[in-house]
A and B are shown apart, each in its own frame.
Chain A
Amino acid sequence: MNPLSVVVRTVCDLFAWFMIVFGVNVLLHGYVTPGGGFQGGAIIATFTAFLLVAYGGKRVAARVNNKLFDLFEEIGLIVFFILAFLGFPITFFFNFMARPLAESASGILPGVGTVALMSAAVGLEVTGALSLIILTMHKGIRMFKVEPLEQETGHER
């Protein structure tokens, strides 16, 4: 993919960061709004797609490290699992942090408990995974320069 014109790149510079902020907002308010981890993560991952379209594959591939997204994915998954596992003396997935609404002085937050944390973990996971999907699929296009498929060593063809 070739980089687009200077107009697009400038707009990308200006607005791309707002997408991340918006995504984080959606992600963190997942427990009270119709948003949540997946939606927020998908919005943040749009940032990667945006960069790819505006700046072209070569530059993004040089700058972006796939290991970072791998790390995001792993941290999200493991945090999610640990949060679910911590409810174990009662049940798996039990919301052990939640308190009844009446006990708390201020609003909704204490009633939420692990749901908000889980939604953040899912958001991290989806960010990493979707960005990885986008980058990997872009790497797989190779529309003009056809490279041979990497050969596996195990079986003869």
Chain B
Amino acid sequence: MIANAPFLLVGLLFLGGMIAIFMEKNLVKIAIAISVIGSSVNLFLVALGYRNGGTVPIHYMAGENTVMVLPTPQAMTLTAIVIALATTALLLSLIMLVYRHYGTLDIDEIRRLRG
């Protein structure tokens, strides 16, 4: 049961981020919510690769212990983090541009394109 605790946390974080996207009106808060969702997915990937009693998956650092955690999910997580950094920077820049054009961060008022 305790081994499933990370997945429970993943679910909670994901739901929290999702709820925040719909409840919040401020674009910066929505950006934070998206980052929270990204972090929950990263946690999910890392938790997937854990083996009970495993060590770092680097050959010369693992020492005598031959049980290592899976390296592939960690590589995936690193890639996902890099992508998340790029998207967060882009999202914040876009938010700055939106603020300069529209003078507001309320997502309900940024709706010139409709219909």
Contacts and interface: CB of A to CB of B under 8 A. Distances in A.
- Chains A and B touch each other in the complex, with CB atoms below 8 Å apart: yes
Interface of A: 32-34, 36, 38, 42, 108, 133, 136-137, 140-141, 146, 149
A146 B61 CA distance: 54
Nearest to A142: B100
B interface: dominant SS: helix
B100 A149 contact: yes
Contacts of A141: 96
Interface residues of B, number: 16
A108 B78 contact: no
Contact of B58 (A33, A136, A140): A33
B92 interface: yes
A137 B89 contact: yes
B45 to A, nearest CB: 15
A32 B92 CA distance: 34
A135 B114 CA distance: 34
18 contacts: A32-B61, A33-B58, A33-B61, A34-B56, A34-B74, A38-B78, A38-B81, A42-B85, A133-B89, A136-B93, A137-B89, A137-B93, A137-B96, A140-B93, A140-B97, A146-B100, A149-B100, A149-B101
